[in-house]
Amino acid sequence: MAYYKRVNMHWADVVAKEVAETCEKPLIATGISPTGIIHVGSLREAITGESVRSAVEGMGKDVRLIYLIDSFDPLRKRYDFLPKEYESYTGMPISKIPCPRGKHDNYAHHFVQPFLDAVESLEVKCEIIWTHELYEKGAFAEAIDLSFKKRKEVTQILHEVSGKEAKDDYAPYNPLCEKCGRFTNPIFETYSFPTVEYQCTCGHHGKADVRKGDGKLTWRLEWPAKWMIFGTSAEPFGKDHAAAGGSYDTGKRIVEEIYGHKAPYPIPYEFVQLKGKGQMHKSTGSSVTGLDAINMTPPEVLNYLFLRVNPGKAIDYDPGKGVLDMADEYDRMEGLFFSGEYTEVEENSVRAYEIAQHNHVPKELPLQVPYKHIVNVVQMADSFEDVVEVLGRTIDLTKANDEDMKRIKTRADCARFWLNGFAPDEVKFSVYPVIPQGIELTMNEKAFFMELVNRMNDANWDAETISQIISDTGKESPIGLKAGFKVIYKVLIGKAAGPRLGPFLAGMDKHFVINRFVQASQH
Ligand SMILES: [Zn+2]
Ligand SMILES: [Zn+2]
């Protein structure tokens, strides 16, 4: 809608325009190295890729997004989180190393599968491709053959671009020793398509077939080989690869001069930094992973978070109260998108909201239930049915459609995960079934409760009325409004502060609240 009046183009539209105009069959590639715990930054890659895909699709083009998993990479070292016996697996491809828990097909699956499952909830529409399977199918055979035949040119390019010494024994391809299972060096003179011999440091002499999973290209050649195999049009990647003389620069020349193909439109992105204090999971003690971020940030909000700024800008992900603020900002942009009343400063964020819908923009403004509010409600309700009941006391849910209810359900699940893991203590509470032990009330406080009961008995049970009564009663009482708030929280949740009282009490059963206040007045 308002998008066509835009003054400045959103970055995803800029990339999409370039891709749509220059590529017959656009293909966007993203990837991940599943050698260990998956970082929040990997989400940026997946979401950036999907955003470009959906923006190209929005221009009427048939476009694919692939997600390449580097499952044939070797395990570089035994990480701290791995059992001792994994020492013996270092140097082996992770597709051939067992799952540390004995549950998944292999090590690569173990680390990436939970993440892939979760990414689905972000509606990233990608085809998952395992690199070790590509090798096994012979997809790299042509690239490996060219790398051997033009080895001198490859070495020269790497020397010119990266500035590293041109070594005569540079191996573009490493056979996998059939005896010890580790990557080793080939004997160049023995290369004759499709085989090459090798002498492994373990003592074994063998022969590798480049059409099979018998070996792998080094990273600097494997990346451009993938561009050739898939005809990649655009690809987001971490800014470390984009440095001058880095693997994008060498890959670009290799794909053009050795493999005879085009390099993709580069989308280098900055890292995601974790911010704030609540970085450690309360029970596991580990810091925020990509999976955690998916589990505690509503998916629409997470998509928006990575779209609102240019990929070249660093993003701070605050797993504490920042998650709530981000959700509020998302809701606000959604409101602006539907009202059409936004300023030039806001238009980029509004477009980010629109792209975050991946071409499934709702027809009208969805029912907005603030994430902050849901965080409070799930602490008052055990099941989702109870959540709906509590919400129904303050929000008209009769007009909610299936999509609205789905969004509330997802936000409720995210809120519970966040509360159990990363939420600061100040947002947590539980409503006690009786007045918490050890609370003593003064005569004035008891009178304050009696007066609340008198005024609330016949009043409407809605947030506004309740706030008004508390405010009036508090101001008229000798204890004052501030102490009034405090003592209400005390008799309900045993803390001196809590959620905003109007909606909080309105979300509870009226009889329950009045009963509690009667008890307090007699305490
Ligand atoms: Zn596993
Ligand atoms: Zn060996």
Distance (Å) from CA 133 to ligand 1 centroid: 19
Distance (Å) from CA 448 to ligand 1 centroid: 58
The structure's pTM equals 0.88
Q: Which ligand is nearest to the CA of 180?
A: 2
| Residue from 418, 390, 395, 388 nearest 281 by CA | 418
CA 162 to CA 221: how far, in whole Å?
A: 13
Residue 276 has a pLDDT of 67
pLDDT at 376 over 50: yes
284: confidence class by pLDDT, cuts 50, 70, 90 = low
Distance (Å) from CA 205 to ligand 2 centroid: 8
Domain boundaries, the chain: 2-165+220-269, 274-427, 443-521
Largest CA distance in the chain: 97
User: Which one of 1.20.140.10, 3.40.50.300, 3.30.70.3270, 1.10.10.770 gives the CATH number of domain 274-427?
Assistant: 1.10.10.770
Q: Which ligand is nearest to the CA of 108?
A: 1
pLDDT at 123 over 90: no
Is 44 in contact with 272 (CB distance < 8 Å)?
A: yes
Distance (Å) from CA 202 to ligand 2 centroid: 4
* pLDDT, tens digit (0-9, with 9 covering 90-100), for 171-216: 999 999 999 999 999 999 999 999 999 999 999 999 999 999 999 9
- 2-165+220-269 is classed in which CATH architecture? 3-Layer(aba) Sandwich (3.40)
- 443-521 is classed in which CATH architecture? Orthogonal Bundle (1.10)
Give the per-residue SS3 of 96-162.
HCCCCCCCCCCHHHHHHHHHHHHHHCCCCCCEEEEHHHHHHHCCCHHHHHHHHHCHHHHHHHHHHHH
Greatest mean pLDDT among 114-128, 255-269, 288-302: 255-269
Instruction: Give the chain's mean pLDDT.
Output: 93
Residue 121 has a pLDDT of 80
Task: Check if 2-165+220-269 and 443-521 are the same fold.
Answer: no
Q: Which ligand is nearest to the CA of 203?
A: 2
Distance (Å) from CA 177 to ligand 1 centroid: 25
Partner residues linked to 205 by β-bridges: 199
Is 26 in contact with 61 (CB distance < 8 Å)?
A: yes
Q: Which ligand is nearest to the CA of 200?
A: 2
For residues 432-461, give the mean pLDDT.
96
pLDDT at 3 over 90: no
CA 302 to CA 290: how far, in whole Å?
A: 11
Compute how many other C-beta atoms are within 10 angstroms of the C-beta atom of residue 359: 13
Task: State whether residue 391 is helix, strand or coil.
Answer: helix
Residue of 349 and 276 predicted with greater confidence: 349
| Residues above pLDDT 70, as percent of the chain | 97
For residues 126-137, give the mean pLDDT.
96
Distance (Å) from CA 371 to ligand 1 centroid: 33
The residue written with tokens 């009786």 in the block is 434
Q: Which ligand is nearest to the CA of 114?
A: 1
Distance (Å) from CA 201 to ligand 2 centroid: 6
Distance (Å) from CA 37 to ligand 2 centroid: 28
Partner residues linked to 287 by β-bridges: 280
Task: State whether residue 4 is helix, strand or coil.
Answer: helix
Residue 2 has a pLDDT of 36
CA 357 to CA 328: how far, in whole Å?
A: 17
Task: State whether residue 230 is helix, strand or coil.
Answer: helix
Q: Which ligand is nearest to the CA of 208?
A: 2
